[in-house]
Structure 1
């Protein structure tokens, strides 16, 4: 659906009928990635407000390039939907907009869950040429979809390898665990198409990288909402120090670490159940 807010159109969806929670996807991503994130929010307990951030899918970028503009767009979407206050649940590149929404509109935020979320200046880790060709070109993206469909174990292995600093032994064990766990396996395979900087996401992705590299301060010390920060300790995509910084800067914030977890830890780690319970507890208030 497209909401015509006072700050322009937003591609969004709503799932569930419970406590309202805005779900902010990473980089790349879109409303489809937010939908995957919301799988841990039971629809009878949460009203998940999913959106594509500017530059992704059907949310235009023009005029909403800055992190603060994207934070204000969240408030404008809540206005359009007639929602006064909502939780904020972000992952990775959705973190800056979520944090700034809480700083700029504190009266609108009931709680924050920041999962492996950018909190300081950030640049993408250098990728080797084969990885760049696989993730940023149309033939490479087609091949990745083919592997996911016909060689799912190899796809999950590549995904976890790229998103974590696991030893070969740890990687083999984690892949076996994910493949034997229907929910984790489904998440890992479904995430792939939403996380490629294809022609529907490249504009937003490029803008995110420019904005994140230029971060001076998100003013996290001004956040007043109850905050839970989640981080895998073997995350190769977002340095765990980013989450440590957020947890030590936001007054009263709680940090939960998933031991040897990758960037996907909240959704596929063998110990994720207790952390997901805490996520729901914080968001319900």
Structure 2
């Protein structure tokens, strides 16, 4: 009897293991196909290859994705927060899908790479929308290439002040293995997914909120294609901006109209930092969102409306080709 029970247990483990393996391969295949379907292209610049995707028509808006992203995340975030009537140009930053990490990378170099991308696309001037960790290079672009910038939008930006930094063991365990990351968000998403996505503690999620969190976390697959860029964000770019001095980021030199969008309950990019950032940029204003955490859950429509009104009021005439 004991031998039969043991065999049944082994059989059950084998069946479960096979089912997990099938689901993992399916989800990984779906992630790779999603990236391939996004219609990305690659341009060669002095800073290496840059992958980008375009969507929509109208005034060009350079969309700068956040941590663990890529051009595909840029398209997703733009879909949530930028309405029709604009041409979205979503590059992968250094170390993200299609854009290899160059030797001795820096945030300033990334900003210069954006200018090279606009050159390759024959775009003289564009608006820039930077999300989360992407705010660092968006701000540097505004400082280093003011003539190429017509408007600056920072959504849930990293900004000087207090802020959480991911411990290296967590990054090493969860974000360097496709399988471990996939298993975590697949089987433990209610426990882990909320904090990783910047959901405020105790927030009750609607079915739509849960679907958005699941979509964002799943969009990171395969994480192995994003690990170099994510490590740079976590250990170089974000701490550099959190602890920035005026010489590092001369905010006072930004003359372009700017909009800073921040949820009051964001646990990752603190609202108090966003308020202080608005005071540092001469021509900036704040759109304070009453809730929704880092993902602005439940507030995408009002954020989209605010960004559209800001862009339409600041970029009325289309740019001339170079």
The normalised TM-score by structure 1 is 0.83
Picking from 234, 241, 245, the partner of 2:272 is 241
Q: Give the SS at the match of 1:76.
A: helix
Deviation at 1:206, TM superposition (A): 1.4
Deviation at 1:186, TM superposition (A): 4.5
Once the two structures are superposed, the pairs formed by residues 32-43 of structure 1 within 5 Å of their partners are 32-39=72-79, 40-43=81-84
Aligned-pair RMSD on alpha carbons? 2.6
The CA deviation string for residues 187-220 of structure 1, in whole angstroms up to 9 with x for no partner, is 3222113447922111111122223323433111
How far apart, CA to CA, are the structure 2 residues paired with 1:212 and 1:79?
27
Deviation at 1:275, TM superposition (A): 2.4
Q: Give the SS at the match of 2:293.
A: coil
Residue 86 of structure 2 is aligned to residue 61 of structure 1: no
Residue 117 of structure 2 is aligned to residue 77 of structure 1: yes
Count of residues paired in the alignment: 266
Query: Structure 2: any 5+ residue segments left out of the alignment?
Result: 1-40, 315-322
Check whether the contact 1:110–1:283 (CA below 8 A) recurs between aligned residues. no
Check whether the contact 1:119–1:242 (CA below 8 A) recurs between aligned residues. yes
Picking from 229, 233, 245, the partner of 1:204 is 229
Match of 1:31 in 2: 71
Residue 159 of structure 2 is aligned to residue 159 of structure 1: no
Decide which structure has the larger Cα Rg and report it.
Answer: 2
CA distance 1:27–1:166, change in 2 (3 Å): closer
CA distance 1:256–1:141, change in 2 (3 Å): same
Query: Structure 1: any 5+ residue segments left out of the alignment?
Result: 148-153
The CA deviation string for residues 146-203 of structure 1, in whole angstroms up to 9 with x for no partner, is 34xxxxxx736743344447353xx2x3x1x2x1x3xx55532221134479221111
The CA deviation string for residues 103-146 of structure 1, in whole angstroms up to 9 with x for no partner, is 11111111111011123377643569789744554332121353
How far apart, CA to CA, are the structure 2 residues paired with 1:249 and 1:49?
27
Check whether the contact 1:20–1:86 (CA below 8 A) recurs between aligned residues. yes
Q: Which moved more, 1:121-130 or 1:24-33?
A: 121-130
Once the two structures are superposed, the pairs formed by residues 14-25 of structure 1 within 5 Å of their partners are 14-25=54-65
Match of 1:50 in 2: 90
Match of 2:28 in 1: none
CA distance 1:167–1:26, change in 2 (3 Å): closer
Residue 288 of structure 2 is aligned to residue 257 of structure 1: yes
Check whether the contact 2:185–2:192 (CA below 8 A) recurs between aligned residues. no
How far apart, CA to CA, are the structure 2 residues paired with 1:129 and 1:8?
30
The normalised TM-score by structure 2 is 0.74
Match of 2:53 in 1: 13
Q: Which moved more, 1:234-243 or 1:94-103?
A: 234-243
Match of 2:308 in 1: 280
Give structure 1 regions of 4+ aligned residues with deviation exceeding 6 angstroms: 128-132
